[in-house]
Structure 1
C-alpha cells in the first residue's frame, strides 16, 4: 500500500520540504543536512496538530519528514489528515523517528507512509536517501 507520488522527480535545490519535529536539535541537524544537499526551502512545524493548515500556507510541499512521537497529535494522526486533504494527499510523507524497529516500520508502512528513516540519522547516507525519495524511490531504513 504505497502512496509514492508519481510526479516528475524533484531536484533537491527545487524541493519544498516540511519537517515535523518537536526536538530543536534534531530539526537543526535535518535542516543542515538538507541545506548541504541544496534544499533551499525548508519549513518547520513542532507538532502534528494543524499540520495540514500549516502545509497549505506553503506554495507547495514536495516532501514531509515526520517524527512519530509529537505533542498533541502524533505522526500517524497527522498522516491521516494529510491523506484526506485534496492538496496534500499525494505528498510524500516519510517517517523520521528515534523509535526505529521492524514493528514500527511495518505499522508505518501499513498506515500509508512513503518511507522510514531511523534516528540517529546517518549524515553520510541521509542526503542520498532524500535524493532517492525525491526521485520517487521508497527508502525504508532501520539504520541497522
Structure 2
C-alpha cells in the first residue's frame, strides 16, 4: 500500500520542535530508567534489610529461649541450694542440740561432783565442830565440876 499522503517537506521549526520533544522523551525515558534502577537497588536493599531484620528477630527469639532456659536452670539451682541450706541448718540445729545436751550432762555431773566434794568438806567440818564442841563440853564439865566443888565447901 502506498502512502496516500503527499510528500511534503516538513518545516525546520517543526523538526526542531519534534527533536526537542524527542530529546525530552529520551531524557524522560533515561530518568525513568534511572528511577527504575534506583527502585531496583532500593528494593534489593529493602529485601536485604528485611532478611537482616528477620535474622535479628530469630536471634532475639533464640536469646529469649536461652534466657528462659537459663532462668529455669537458675531457679532450680537456687531451689536446690535453698534445700541444701535448709537441710544443713536442720543438721546443725540437731548437732547443736546434741552438743548442748552433752554439755548440760557434763555440767550436771561436774556440779554433782562439786556438790559431793563440798558436802564431804561440810560433813568433815561438822564432825570437827562436833568433836570440838564435845571436847569443849567435856572441858567445861571438868571446870564446872571443879568450880562446884570449890563453891560447895
**Greater Rg over alpha carbons, structure:** 2
**Fold-level similarity (TM above 0.5):** no
Which category describes the TM-score, using the shorter chain as reference length? under 0.3
> Larger % of helix: which?
2
TM-score by length of 2: 0.12
Higher relative contact order structure (alpha carbons within 8 Å, sequence separation ≥ 6)? 1
